[in-house]
Homo-oligomer: A and B are copies of this chain.
Amino acid sequence: MPSHTEENYLKAIYKLSEAQPGVEVSTNRIAEVLQTRPASVTDMLRRLGEKGLLHYERYRGVSLTHDGRRVALLTIRKHRLWEVFLVNKLGFNWDEVHDVAEEMEHLQSPLLMRRLDEFLGFPQLDPHGDPIPAEDGAIIRPQHRLVSDLKPGEEGTVMAVKNTSVPFLQYLDKAGLSLGARIEVLDKVTFDNSLEIRINNNKVTLISNEISCNLFVAD
């Protein structure tokens, strides 16, 4: 049984390695996202290495083993299934679920997750548009593009968000940019990379680069 902290480390390492495939994950980077010191990270990496959950060679960065990857994906699976539950069944808003799911993802009952999955109708995506890994760790990599990569004239449907912070999600709600919204890029300001967009063939707004870098669309 991995501890809560171990699950958090593995999840963070998995996400970092997905963000930059091929590149080994660095100690400092892990410390940064987990809000801790590099010395603590080294400590944990050694322990996770001894447990066979990751390949750890000093100064060489780190990569997950098959087992470590499995634990990380199962943790993500639990997190996202609980998010779906909170939003679809308990009526939470998508900006309220992260912290609660962060706690629920550490529950350790495979049977519970199987029954929950069934109860929710085997959802494929969580409320932020992220794919839910299967029980065996299979995960579908969605075909998304960042809004910041769109050129004027291009359009797409909002499919997912990269950032799940409360202020960001609340901004999207207020701007009418929830999942499913249709976006058309009208113009790009080269100075700060902000975009002028039309939302749902209707309102025209300006969104900053900060926003467009955290929003995914598909055709």
Determine chain A's interface SS by DSSP, over half rule: helix
Taken together as a complex, chains A and B put the C-alpha atoms of A41 and B162 apart, in Å, by 47
Taken together as a complex, chains A and B put the C-alpha atoms of A118 and B89 apart, in Å, by 10
B109 close to A100 (CB less than 8 A)? yes
A92 close to B107 (CB less than 8 A)? no
A90 close to B108 (CB less than 8 A)? no
Total contacting residues, chain A, CB less than 8 A: 19
A111 proximity list for chain B (CB < 8 A): 96, 100
A104 at the interface (CB under 8 A from B): yes
Contact of A107 among B104, B109, B115, B116 (CB under 8 A): B104
A119 at the interface (CB under 8 A from B): yes
Interface residues of A (CB under 8 A from B): 86, 89-92, 96, 99-100, 103-104, 107-109, 111-112, 115-116, 118-119
Extra contacts besides A89-B119, A90-B119, A100-B112 (18): CB < 8 Å: A86-B112, A86-B115, A90-B112, A90-B115, A90-B116, A90-B118, A91-B115, A91-B119, A92-B115, A96-B111, A99-B109, A100-B107, A100-B109, A100-B111, A103-B107, A103-B108, A103-B109, A104-B107
